[in-house]
Structure 1
Amino acid sequence: MTTPQEDKLDPALRRLIGVILIGGIMGILDGSMTAVAVDTLSTRFDASLSTTGWVSTGYLLALTVTIPVTAWAVERVGGRRLWLSGLVLFMAGSIASGLAWDIDSLILFRVAQGVGAGILDPLMLTLLARAAGPTQVGRVMGVMGIVGSTGPVLGPIVGGVILQGLDWRWMFFVNVPIVVVAFVLARRTLPAESPEARGAVDRLDILGVALIGPGVASGVLALSEVAQRGSFATWQVLLPLALAVALLAGYAAHALRARRTPPLIDLRLFTRRSFTASVVAAAVLGLATFASIFVIPLYYQQVRGYGVFESGLRLAPFGVGSALVMPLAGRLSDRWGSRNLALTGAAVALLSSLAFSRFDAQTGGLWPLLAAFTLGIGTGSAGAPVIGSVYRTLPGHLVPQGSSVLYMLNQLGASIGIAVVALLMQNAGDDPRSGFHLAYLAVAVGLLVMLVASLFIPGRVVATAEQPAVEPEAERPAVRAGSQENVN
């Protein structure tokens, strides 16, 4: 049992967490902020809605392609230099997007911004996991989860507020002062890393880069097209889906073949049962979270007849519930382990989803708000423990790869969730209520999968060696292998 003093995060670690989250929050917000600006941008640039949709899609695909390369680059150039480079690239993309003169230039600059986010988002997980160590990773991921869970919810709200009072360009210019502050603080706070400390770095797996990033991105594109078109049976879906299967199958064959250059992502990670269970649970959390972000506003618009902005605001209880519980769940997972917390959170989220599947236009206004709040509590209760368990199952040198796998599967889970509920809602035709019910039954099925996966997540973690909260990167391994054991 830890004492209250031991339970507190070291001040240096708290500063590091704050600095990293300041830099990472804009990438998370920007992923969903522009979703509310499609009509505005389409009118401003006299472009079709399908073309304007690439402002968001291009950003997401660039982010996805970049993620696996980040796992290699962090060992090549060091976490501090890579973080600062990602901030500079993201800010440059933001400024250029705000200065865009037509829809084509805006899409191009959003791709550059997405590359910056593809560096920052998984690297944020890696830096925090390395700083925390296995005995504090739950608490740290709980704090990070406040940003991760509320960012996608706040993005459309922030975007709507900006569009109501300012020109659309300020959706991108608003990033600039925040990134400048993040850059200055990161230079002062993130520890420098010497080449000797990083040790020998393997050559970049060029073929792996050409296969896995585009493969995952093609899958995300196919799912995005499903959400937009409401059907699988179109060439816009089937072509990228076939390409995704071919590229990812090629990567699997490539990665499992013995050779001198190690694979970009070692698929033998998935032979670790605890790791596989943790990332599957994280993927389902992404599915439930983004499906809810997509479908709850549609419930208020299509079933209850509310306006767009008011519908978006009524999503807030979901984000608030998650943000409130995540730090506590992370702290408890460091004491008690992740398994029971993940099971409890998945069960609460499942019951909330089943409640949503019963709502209609006559349901009292308080009940959907309460269900959204408890759904946030459920996903938040599971989120930090599940992410923390990923890092407790890996030795230090595999932490960057684990971050990449975690983030890619979370993105795929989010895309699957949006695609499935969009398909069900669109195919409901003149009965949006039944489409909404089916959508939340689908989310409930996903949460059942998470319940099963959570049974294989590690139990309580016992530290066997005293570990400082923050060490200079040059003097410590990423996450200490052998510094803990799983107690079932």
Structure 2
Amino acid sequence: MSSNERFDARLLATIAVVLLGGLLGILNSTMAAVATGTLASAFGTSLSVIGWASTGFLLAVTATIPFTTWAVDRYGGKRLWIAGLTIFLAGSLAAGLAWDVGSLIAFRVLQGVGAGLLDPLVLILLARAAGPSRAGRVMGLMGVVLSLGPVLGPIAGGAILGTLTWRAMFLISVVVGAVALLLALRVLPRDEAGRGGGPRLDVVGLALLGPGFAAVVLALSQTAEQGAFAVWQVLLPFVVGGVLLIGYAVHARKASPLIDLRLFANRGFSASVTIMGLGGMGLFSALFALPLYYQQAHGHGVLAAGLLMAPVGLGGSIAMPLAGRLSDRLGARGLATGGAIVAVVSAFALTRVGADTPEVWPALAAFTIGLGSGFFSAPTMGSLYRTLPPPMVAQGSSVLYMLNQLGAALGVALVTIVIQSAADVITGFRGIFWLAVAANVIVLAVIPLLPGRPGAQAPVRDELARTP
């Protein structure tokens, strides 16, 4: 076996182990969302109170991501990955044994801290292992997890709740997580750096950026819960988050900020994170809206609606590895343009669906919207990592993940507003997909700003050097 083949085997093993850990957090989060009604009944509380089990998880993830940016270089990727898995496992076990709603919310927050370490690390570890020449194909494999996770979660959650208790959802995560932990200890390469060196923690930046993003995400979550923007539950966290983020922008002018905002001086980087944020908004709108359509317009149960959602994930899981691999040779622009056009047409087709439309047609449109999203997402992520010099991979990954989270939260908030303000289910459903059309049209307009063919783009380090 040649050295290249041995490297490829090690790389494939690393990818598999990292993706297993990444899938764990997504599945657990989406399964818990399906169980909201069951959990409210089990603890004798309201849906609004039990909703904090999911909201607390999301806020903990968002607030922890900026810390991961610094810690991965300070302590090393493998050490931080093991720590994240351990924290997530502890939170999962404790959540499965929760005795009241307060303990459940607290343990879900602990899970969120673990996931906040793992989620950006998935991107960081894969990008570093693959290198610029293989960024597209590896990000395409990552896209399989991003595509299937939100679809498999509701299906798995519905199946578990139909046969077992709610505690099984969290305890199954312990079993899968233990396997992921053992494999990570054996397979992930030893850290070459991260033995106490690296820059000092930007404590002020961490105190501003993490809570600032978390407050904005909380505002969007409250928008979905309250069904309106102009209420204090939304405006207060939004104002607090805005002030903290503005404070971080002022603070980031110092020499070594947690995340260097000069990253955005690079046109390709800014275009990439914008596309992924808008793509996340459009895709999560579809993932949120389709189950409601199948349940309210066709009378299907949770499990059947989840199965009918599967074409979205199937389309993405087919498109992303193929598009990612091609982008390593052809570049991102052409593939992403074709994908965005397919996504726009597919979302438009879903605006034509009515209550009497046979399920095969929205399922087919959902499949093609997954294909289209996959064809612009994987090349976009690949191009982003080809522009980033190694020292900036952690920062770029954190920015990408936070903006994707923000786009998803905004998508869910807008979906909720549209549904609650619509005259009927079908009108609301069509309005949601007009939003998806608009998001994908903007994606299509931004794609020309992506870097050209591999090797032709100016790296971010050049932009940083030119920017005072």
Query: Does the alignment reach a TM-score above 0.5?
Result: yes
**Residues 202 and 258, structure 2, Cα contact 8 Å, conserved in 1:** yes
| Shift in Å, 1:145 | 0.9
1:91/1:410 CA distance change after superposition, 3 Å: same
Change (3 A) 1:382 1:198: farther
Aligned counterpart for 2:358 among listed residues 359, 364, 372:
364
Correspondent of 1:458 among 451, 459, 462: 451
In 2: Cα distance, 1:461 partner to 1:215 partner? 35
Aligned to 1:328: 322
The within-5 A match list for 1:235-314 is: 235-256=232-253, 258-259=254-255, 262-314=256-308
**Following the alignment from structure 1 to structure 2, what is the Cα–Cα distance between the partners of residues 300 and 446?**
23
Give the CA RMSD over aligned residues. Answer: 2.0
**Distance in structure 2 (CA, Å) of the matches to 1:69 and 1:25:** 21
Rate the CA distance shift 1:284–1:114 in 2: closer, same or farther, 3 A: same
1:30: how far off?
A: 1.6
Matches within 5 A, 1:162-173: 162-173=160-171
**How many angstroms does 1:9 deviate by?**
8.4
Map of 1:83-482 to 2, 5 A cutoff? 83-195=81-193, 200-256=197-253, 258-259=254-255, 262-429=256-423, 431-462=424-455
Shift in Å, 1:200 = 4.5
3-state DSSP of counterpart to 1:360: coil
Q: Helix, strand or coil for the counterpart of 2:454? A: strand
Q: Do the aligned partners of residues 481 and 343 (structure 1) sit closer, same or farther apart at CA in structure 2, a change above 3 Å counting?
A: same
Aligned to 1:470: none
Rounded Cα–Cα distance in structure 2 between residues aligned with 1:209 and 1:352: 40
Q: Which residue of 1 aligns with 2:465?
A: none
Local SS of the residue matching 2:35: helix
Which portions of structure 1, spanning 4 or more consecutive aligned residues, are displaced by more than 3 angstroms? Answer: 6-9, 197-200, 479-482
Post-superposition shift, 1:432?
Answer: 1.4
Which segment drifts farther, 64-73 or 303-312? 303-312
Give, in angstroms, the shift of residue 308 of structure 1: 2.5
- Higher mean C-alpha deviation, range 10-19 or range 197-206: 197-206
Measure the CA separation in 2 of the matches of 1:189 and 1:12. Answer: 8
Q: 2: CA distance between counterparts of 1:176 and 1:248?
A: 36
Match of 1:468 in 2: none
Shift of 1:421: 1.3
Cα distance, 1:305 vs structure 2: 2.7
Question: Quick check: 1:142–1:327 contact (8 Å CA) kept in 2?
Answer: yes
Asked whether the 8 Å contact 1:135–1:463 carries over to 2, the reply is: no
Closer, same or farther: CA 335–37 of 1 in aligned 2, 3 Å: same
Identity of aligned residues (%): 54
Counterpart contact for 2:263–2:460, Cα < 8 Å: no
The CA deviation at 1:198 is 6.8
Structure 1 unaligned regions, length at least 5 = 1-5, 465-478, 483-488
Q: Which moved more, 1:69-78 or 1:321-330?
A: 321-330
* Aligned amino acid, residue 222 of structure 2: E
C-alpha spacing 1:463/1:253, structure 2 compared with 1 (3 Å): closer
Q: Distance in 2 between matches of 1:106 and 1:364?
A: 41
SS at match of 1:264: coil
Deviation at 1:462, TM superposition (A): 3.6
Q: What is the alpha-carbon distance in structure 2 between the residues aligned to residue 393 and residue 342 of structure 1?
A: 17
Deviations 1:402-430 (A, max 9, x none): 0100000000000011111111011114x
Question: Residues 198 and 382 from structure 1, CA distance in 2 versus in 1: closer, same or farther, beyond 3 angstroms?
Answer: farther
Counterparts of 1:324 and 1:7 in 2: how far apart (Å)? 25
Which deviates further from its counterpart, 357-366 or 133-142?
Answer: 357-366
TM-superposition CA deviations, 1:316-365 (whole Å, max 9, x none)? 11111111111111100111011111111111111100000111012232
Shift of 1:34: 0.8
1:53 counterpart SS class: helix
Task: Tell me the alpha carbon deviations over residues 271-291 of structure 1, each in whole angstroms, 9 at most, x when there is no partner.
Answer: 010000000001111111111
TM superposition shift of 1:396: 0.7
Per-residue CA deviations over 1:353-398 (Å, capped at 9, x if unaligned) read 0000111012232211100000110111112111111111111100
Give 1:95 deviation, angstroms. 0.2
For 2:407 and 2:418, the matched residues in 1 are separated by: 17
Aligned residue pair count: 459
Q: Indicate conservation of the 8 Å contact 2:282/2:435, yes or no.
A: no
Corresponding residue number in structure 2 for 1:471: none
Counterparts of 1:435 and 1:11, CA distance in 2: 49
TM-score (norm: length of structure 1): 0.91
Identify the residue that residue 474 of structure 1 maps to in structure 2: none
Distance (Å, rounded) in 2 between the aligned partners of 1:319 and 1:280: 22
The CA distance in 2 between the partners of 1:454 and 1:101, in whole Å, is: 50
Q: Could you tell me how far apart the structure 2 residues matched to 1:94 and 1:172 are? A: 5
Task: Give deviations 1:158-195, integer Å, cap 9, x for gaps.
Answer: 11111000010011000112111111111111121245
- Where 2:353 maps in the other structure, the secondary structure is coil
Q: Does the 8 Å contact 1:274/1:456 carry over to 2? A: yes
